[in-house]
Structure 1
Amino acid sequence: MDTTSFTPTAECSPRTARIPRIVIVGGGAGGMQLATRLAGTAGRRALAEIVLVDRYPTHFWKPLLHEAASGHCDPATHTIEYAAQARHHGFRFVQGELLRVDRTAHLATIGAVFDADGEHILPERQLHYDELVLALGSVTNFFNVPGAAEHALPLENLEQAEHFRRRFLAACTKANHLAQEQPARAAPPICINVIGAGATGVELAAALRHAVGPLTAYRFKSLIADRHVCIRLIEGAPRILPTLDERVSARTHAQLRDLNVEVLTGIRVSEVTRDAILTAAGQRLASDITIWAAGVAGPAMLAQIGDVALNASNQVIVNDTLQTPDDPHVFAFGDCAACPSQGSRGYLPPRAQVAYQQARYLGQAFMQRLSGKRVRGFAFHDAGTVVSLGKTGAVFQTELGRSRSLIIDGLAAIGLYEFIYRKHLLGLHGTKRTLLQSLSHWLQSHNRPSIRLH
């Protein structure tokens, strides 16, 4: 347990010279929640200056990326401007990528910012901190599979989701044209391979299958959804959703089969090429587009934070107060952190609810430190896992203790999935703005096609 009090470093302005500066790097689900919470407590009481740093100007809830990639949601209606959030809640936003950290001088170097045309907007800068919180999320772990990094698409952010969506539309456009021009010719199907059948892979495969029908109805009328588009889900483990209950795996597998998603389990990918996937058993699977959803790791730049200990997945090792053992002024949480799991020798999994609970914990812990109070360690309480299969349904699992679990599917699970996102918005906007935004989403869903068409 840590009771270390703040010792402010030299700051750049008269105001911040009197109070400590808490710099949060990464505006994902956890970082955004923490900045908003601390701004409403420590910031409002002038106990600390809160600074949020992110390479992008907007926030998008990462669990929705599969809906953006499949075209089911318009990112413009779900993104939040960091500058607007900072203005509404009283923290400061700095755009740029964290390049390195000088722990001795308490300096974080923030990279230059360029516009879409490559024009220089902001120079490289140095930002003083008293307490540095790393909430950098994760990057795709290709596990050194040959060709995977070059030919498989990751799904880490909106840019990558949009890149995939455009490639998918281009493939459908080409196939539709060939079907129109040569209706008698049996053209090979468009093959979309999703490698990794955890929650992300399963949700993406289901979302893509749900997208094909509306696309053929609106734009690609010569395509037959089940015949001309093959969605394949590939998993190395003996079953999909290997970390969840076997009953959840079996139910989800059955629903995917009903959706005409081809599920291959026990398949190890040995190589990814431009137009195929090669398996360890020597099988060749044709692939027009390959998505890699088989694992994550900490961002490479974490190695630039002066001798901070990292685990095999390049995550920052922290103790139960989410501080690095090497430096009590550096914290890490969410996907980029290796936080010890109670009752086991491993670490907590990279899940959104872990980051959310850690953000809540740090919001309280910083206030306790600022008040000179004792700080207890973080304890994770598993609230269950929801896997969405789009309009087909969802599956929810939560542990009841002593090897017992509760499993819910159907409308109740869909409601739980929607509630998780609304809970995230409530933490950022409060009740009034969340209700207005939810109403706006509902109205838009009844005033436009169910899928993005271009």
Structure 2
Amino acid sequence: MPDSQTASPASFHEPGNVVIVGGGAGGLELACKLGRKLGHNRVTLVDCRLTHIWKPSLHEVAAGTLDIHQEGLSYQMLAHDNGFTFVYGALTALDAASKSITVAAIKNESGEIIIPERQVPYSILCLAVGSVSNYFGVPGAREHSISLNATEDAERFRLKMLELLTMAEMRKADSPDAGVDVVIIGGGATGVELAAELREASSAYADYGFRRLDPARDVRITLLEGAPRILAPLPERVSSAAARLLAKRHVTVVTNCRVTEIRADSVTDGEGVTRPADLCVWAAGIKAPGFLTTLGLPTNKAGQIEVTGRLNVVSHEDIYAFGDCAACPDNNGKTVPPRAQAAHQQADYLVDVFLQKLTGKPVTDKPFVYRDYGSLVSIGHETTVGSLMGSLKGLSWFVEGFYARLLYMSLHLMHHKAILGTVRTAMLAIGRTLIKRTTALVKLH
């Protein structure tokens, strides 16, 4: 294993060490920025996966328009380059009294232990474990739908979609109505972006050998939303523009639709309407991972860890939590929304706090303040819609088209810059552009 993984146990006992659990966008950015300042003997990142991918890209992986083997970044490589230690495994227990966590053993496919269970001490612990799907007790949702929470979910969807397209292509000669029915439950950003990406991908698949399938007619995509409109948290103009663009792409949008049951081949709503579903995606809500309630930390009804305005866990000055897994009060008395930009801002806030703590400087008593800079939603590779928030309260601008698309792409590049640096991000962007010109538009295997 690389040296980032095989650091000696003594390295975990350095004075003033930070242990970050969760290598999502926020947790990884925090580890990289602290690692470059403090070094691997002072900063440790724990994650149950070996590869990082920017979560907003998962809908592209699912559609086959993005290859995870090209997009994914190795945590071990990032640890080496940014000066932190990477520990592979899942958090299973917390001992706040002795200030240590337990990381599960790693087993191979045969069940043999490759890396034993470990105890990792900390001076400062930071939990950034993200969220999981909330099925709201809908019968069959967990068993018969796919949620795009991780790369393996997106890959599972992509492979199943490719299988269904192949079978439909083979049946087309004898059955003119043969096709694929995809039902996406949830009209938030994930559901809308996946619907648009699938439509573009289905057209590309038709170019690469699925000659009998008409993408618009035979790949039938339905988006179900319980609210009166899709993208309900965003301004109505953004919602209307997204609905219009989806309609142009032959995506059926059904609002005010409450799903009551999901079966292996169908979805039923509260009105008793049953729709065929060869593939079903659940994008209707998230919640904090269930294991957080077993750690002995205060949690709310949604399972989120309760933190103060300074992001430390209530009654624990040396344990912090941020991102989707934490219930952080904002300056308006509400809870900071579980959005990527919130996690990025919280990571930057904690970089300063932890550096102050570890270098003996006075620690700021100013609470974290969330700033909403607006939202952007990708409608395929050519179009993006969204709203940008101004510095004045309540002031926003509607953006659409090429300019909005550039802004959307810049978000991904900004994340890469935080973990790779400016030069490597620029080289990576150029390299991926060149690769796209020499490979298929979709992943075909």
Shift of 1:399: 2.6
Aligned counterpart in structure 1 of residue 121 of structure 2, from 115, 118, 128: 128
Shift of 1:450: 1.0
Q: Which residue of 1 aligns with 2:425?
A: 434
User: Could you report, residue by residue, the CA deviation over 1:253-305 in whole angstroms, capped at 9, with x for unpaired residues?
Assistant: 00000010000000000111111111111111111111000111111110121
Question: Aligned partners of 1:236, 1:301: CA distance in 2, in Å?
Answer: 28
Aligned counterpart in structure 2 of residue 151 of structure 1, from 144, 148, 164: 144
Assess, with a 3 A threshold, how the Cα gap between structure 1 residues 117 and 255 changes in structure 2: closer, same or farther: farther
The amino acid across from 1:428 in the alignment is I
* 2:307–2:328 CA contact under 8 A, matched in 1: yes
Q: Which residue of 1 aligns with 2:236?
A: 246
Question: Aligned partners of 1:174, 1:347: CA distance in 2, in Å?
Answer: 47
After TM superposition, the score normalised by the length of structure 1 is 0.93
Q: Which residue of 1 aligns with 2:19?
A: 23
Shift of 1:449: 1.2
Task: Answer with 403-412 or 115-124: which moved more.
Answer: 115-124
Aligned counterpart in structure 1 of residue 287 of structure 2, from 281, 289, 297: 297
Q: Which residue of 1 aligns with 2:441?
A: 450
Shift of 1:187: 2.5
Question: Aligned partners of 2:352, 2:13: CA distance in 1, in Å?
Answer: 23
The amino acid across from 1:277 in the alignment is V
Q: Which residue of 1 aligns with 2:298?
A: 309
Report SS of the residue matched to 1:391.
coil
1:119-268 alignment to 2 at 5 Å? 119-180=112-173, 182=174, 185-268=175-258
Question: Aligned partners of 2:299, 2:442: CA distance in 1, in Å?
Answer: 42
Shift of 1:313: 1.8
Shift of 1:115: 2.8
* 2:179–2:213 CA contact under 8 A, matched in 1: no
| Alignment of 1:112 onto 2:105 | yes
Report SS of the residue matched to 2:268.
strand
Question: Aligned partners of 1:52, 1:391: CA distance in 2, in Å?
Answer: 33
Question: Aligned partners of 1:378, 1:193: CA distance in 2, in Å?
Answer: 39
* 2:14–2:42 CA contact under 8 A, matched in 1: no
Tell me how large the CA RMSD over aligned residues is. Answer: 1.5
1:30-429 alignment to 2 at 5 Å? 30-43=26-39, 49-180=42-173, 182=174, 185-306=175-296, 308-344=297-333, 346-370=334-358, 371-375=360-364, 376-400=366-390, 401-429=392-420
Shift of 1:341: 2.3
After TM superposition, the score normalised by the length of structure 2 is 0.95
Shift of 1:178: 0.3
User: Unmatched 5+ residue regions in structure 2?
Assistant: 1-7
* 2:171–2:178 CA contact under 8 A, matched in 1: no
User: Unmatched 5+ residue regions in structure 1?
Assistant: 1-10
Question: Aligned partners of 2:189, 2:444: CA distance in 1, in Å?
Answer: 26
The amino acid across from 1:61 in the alignment is W
Assess, with a 3 A threshold, how the Cα gap between structure 1 residues 261 and 418 changes in structure 2: closer, same or farther: same
Report SS of the residue matched to 2:370.
coil
Question: Aligned partners of 1:199, 1:365: CA distance in 2, in Å?
Answer: 32
Shift of 1:117: 4.7
Q: Which residue of 1 aligns with 2:5?
A: none
* 1:275–1:288 CA contact under 8 A, matched in 2: yes
Shift of 1:17: 4.3
Report SS of the residue matched to 2:381.
helix
Q: Once superposed, which parts of structure 1, at least 4 consecutive aligned residues long, lie more than 4 Å away?
A: 15-18
Report SS of the residue matched to 1:262.
strand
Question: Aligned partners of 1:179, 1:421: CA distance in 2, in Å?
Answer: 40
The amino acid across from 2:375 in the alignment is T
The amino acid across from 2:327 in the alignment is A
* 1:219–1:453 CA contact under 8 A, matched in 2: no
Between the two proteins, what is the percent identity of the paired residues? 38
Shift of 1:118: 3.8
Shift of 1:402: 4.5
